[in-house]
Amino acid sequence: EKIDKMSSEVVDSNPYSRLMALKKMGIVNNYEDIKNQSVIIVGLGGIGSVAAEMLTRCGVGKLLLFDYDTVEIANMNRLFFRPDQAGLSKTKAAEQTLQHINPDVSFETYNYNITTIDSFEHFKSRIEKGGIVPDTPVSLVLGCVDNFEARTAINQACLELNRSWMESGVSENAISGHIQFIVPGETACFQCVPPLIVASGIDERTLKREGVCAASLPTTMGIVAGMLIQNTLKYLLKFGEVSYLLGYNALLDYFPKDNIKPNPECSNSICVKQQKAYQEYLKSLPPPVAVV
Ligand code: ATP
Ligand code: ZN
C-alpha cells in the first residue's frame, strides 16, 4: 500500500518534474535555467549523438549539431542511430529523433567539414552568434570528433573567440576515454600538451591514427558521453565541481583526474596571448582578505 502511494506521487505528466526534484533536494538551485542554455556539438558519432540525446532529455534550450557524415549500418554497434536512418546525414537523422523526444529544444544542423576554410569561418560565427538570444555566443562547445585536424580546428576557433569548450575521446581499442574542459589562457589547450597526458595514464591513442580500423564499444562511448554531459550540466547550472581532465580506463575501472596548466611555450600563439591576458587578470584582482 505504501509503495503504491509513493509511485503515484512520483508519476507526473510533466517529464521534467524529476529533474526539477533536484532543486527540491538542494542539488541544483536553478534547474530551469537549462532552458536558457545553448550547446554546440561537433561530431555525432558514438559520443556526440548520445551526448545530444542526454541534453535533449534534460531540456536544454538549443542544440547546434555539426557533422559531415551519413548514418551507416556499420554504426549500429553504437547507441542512438537506427538501421532505418542509414543513408541520412547524421545531423538530419539526429534532429529528427531528438525533436520527437523533446519538441521544446530548438535545433540548428550543419552537414559539413568544420576544417575547410569557408566552413571553419561559418562554424566560428555560430559559436559567436548562435546563442538563444540571436547574435550572442553559445553557452558551450563540445568536441566529439575522432581526429586530430577536427580537434585542432575546434581548439583554434575557441581560442580565437576566447570561449570555453570540452573535448572528448575514446581510444582506438575502445577500452579507455577522456573528457577535458578547456578554458583559454587558464588551462592547457588542445595544442599545449601534444602527446596527450603522460602523468595521468590516459591513453594517447585516443587520438585516432589514419588508416587504422578503430574498435568500438557502446559501453565505453556511453560512459564517456555520460561523463561529458555530467560535466556540462555542472558547468552550465553551476553545481558540484567541474572536472578539467577526467579519464576512464575500462579494464581497471580507474578514473584519473587532473588539471593541466597551460604551456607557456604552446605552439598556438593565441593560446600564449590568452595565457598572458589571464595572468594580467589575476594580477588585477584585489588581494585576498585575511580571514580572522
Ligand atoms: P568510425 O570512425 O569508427 O567509422 P565514426 O566516424 O562515427 O566511426 P566516432 O568517433 O564515433 O567515429 O564519431 C566521430 C564523429 O565526428 C563522426 O560522426 C564524424 O563524422 C565526425 N567528424 C569528424 N571530423 C569531422 C569534421 N572535420 N567535421 C565534421 N564532423 C566531423
Ligand atoms: Zn595551448
pLDDT of residue 239: 95
pLDDT of residue 33: 93
Distance 103 CA to ligand 1 centre (A): 26
Distance 102 CA to ligand 2 centre (A): 37
Q: Of the ligands numbered here, which is closest to the C-alpha atom of 91?
A: 1
Residue 275 has pLDDT above 70, yes or no: yes
Atom of ligand 1 nearest to the CA of 114: 28
Atom of ligand 1 nearest to the CA of 145: 16
Residue ranges of E strands in the chain: 38-42, 62-66, 106-110, 140-143, 165-170, 176-182, 245-249, 257-258
| 19 touches 30 (CB < 8 A) | no
pLDDT digits (tens, 9 = 90+) for 133-169: 999 999 999 999 999 999 999 999 999 999 999 999 9
pLDDT digits (tens, 9 = 90+) for 29-56: 888 999 999 999 999 999 999 999 999 9
| 51 touches 80 (CB < 8 A) | no
pLDDT digits (tens, 9 = 90+) for 80-118: 999 999 999 999 999 999 999 999 999 999 999 999 999
**pTM of the entire structure?**
0.90
pLDDT of residue 21: 82
Distance 290 CA to ligand 1 centre (A): 51
Edge-first strand order for the sheet with 62-66 is 106-110, 62-66, 38-42, 140-143, 165-170, 176-182, 245-249, 257-258
pLDDT of residue 12: 55
pLDDT digits (tens, 9 = 90+) for 171-227: 989 999 999 999 999 999 999 986 555 444 555 555 555 556 677 899 999 999 999
Q: Of the ligands numbered here, which is closest to the C-alpha atom of 189?
A: 2
Which residue has better confidence, 291 or 262?
A: 262
CB atoms < 10 A from the CB of 22, how many? 15
The DSSP secondary structure of 148-217, one letter per residue, reads HHHHHHHHHHHHHHT--EEEEEE-TTSSEEEEEEE-TTTS--TTTSSS--STT---GGGSPPTT------
pLDDT of residue 240: 95
Mean pLDDT to the nearest integer, 11-29: 76
Ligand 1: residue of 41, 42, 146 to mutate (most ligand atoms within 8 A of CB) is 146
Residue 2 has pLDDT above 90, yes or no: no
Q: Across all residues in the chain, what is the average pLDDT?
A: 90
Write out the three cell numbers for 256.
584519473
ipTM summary value:
0.95
Residue 76 has pLDDT above 70, yes or no: yes
pLDDT of residue 37: 98
Atom of ligand 1 nearest to the CA of 213: 3
